[in-house]
Amino acid sequence: MSALSRYPPMIKRIGLMCFIIFACLPLAQMTMISFIATLPTAENAVGTATFGNYLGIWTDPHLRAAFGNSIAYVLINICITVPIAVPAAYAFSRMSFLGDKHLFLAFIAFRITPPVVLTLPIFQLFSNLGIVNSVWGIALAHCLFNLPISIWILQGFISAIPKEMDEAAFLDGYSRPRFIWTFLLPQISSGIAVTAFFCFMFSWVEVVFARILTTTNGKPISMAINALFGFQTDIGLVMAVTFASMMPGAVFLFAMRNHLSRGFRIGRI
């Protein structure tokens, strides 16, 4: 008998409710402050309810550009990482070659390396390529760190599919690329959703490469929020930008909720 089962149901419900309130309280406070004027303006005094903080996001070109940059990082990251990770994961799952296990472990070891360790060599390389201070520079840096974890996730999903499916398709005359596109991708759609989720999370909140590889252009929303803090910080605007920055993630989770739920149940993560 578990320790939790010894408590009456009412106590468990109260404990769960207290945890939910504790977890949601910062979000509720942030949402309320985002609709309050925290600096005096010609239209609003301090403490009055207003939509001006959200209108400020749209009227500020730097904040608009930051949102666009973050969305671009995510889209580029997913569009590059997933098409590369699928065949690589298939190779690690289905094929045996010299040093395959060592290479797979090397990918995982690279992923757990702190990003700050590689900022200098990546900055020098991207400087020579002329992509520093651009959207493509940060997006490619994110791909370097998302590709190992993507291969690892998809390798687990592909390994769960019987090899007999491959053999039957090859006997029917399917080539390997056609088999992957026709049969494998629908079978691992949940794994692709989980992979895209991790790519989104890393690109949306990452700040190390954003701080090093950008000076004027290409700043993501995380850096834009940091730039709002100063001698007189408009806390209402900061809370509005923070709340707005959470919306793409919420939309992504809602749209992919069924695939993510299946993926986290059957994937070996």
Give the start-to-end residue ranges of the domains of the chain: 4-34, 54-266
pTM: 0.79
Distance separating alpha carbons of residues 53 and 139, to the nearest angstrom: 29
CB 62, CB 214: distance < 8 Å = no
Q: pLDDT in tens for each of the 269 residues of the chain?
A: 455 556 567 777 888 888 888 888 888 888 898 898 888 877 778 888 888 888 888 888 888 888 888 898 899 999 999 999 999 999 888 887 777 778 888 878 777 778 888 888 888 888 888 888 888 888 888 888 899 889 988 988 888 888 888 888 888 888 888 888 888 888 888 888 888 888 888 888 888 888 888 777 778 888 888 888 877 888 888 999 999 988 888 888 887 777 766 666 654 44
Q: Which of 103, 110, 62 is nearest to 241 (CA)?
A: 62
Domain 54-266 has CATH 1.10.3720.10: yes
Distance separating alpha carbons of residues 227 and 16, to the nearest angstrom: 37
Q: How distant, in Å, are the alpha carbons of 120, 174, 194, 229, 257 from that of 27? A: 36, 52, 25, 19, 21
Q: Which of 20, 60, 71, 7 is nearest to 247 (CA)?
A: 71
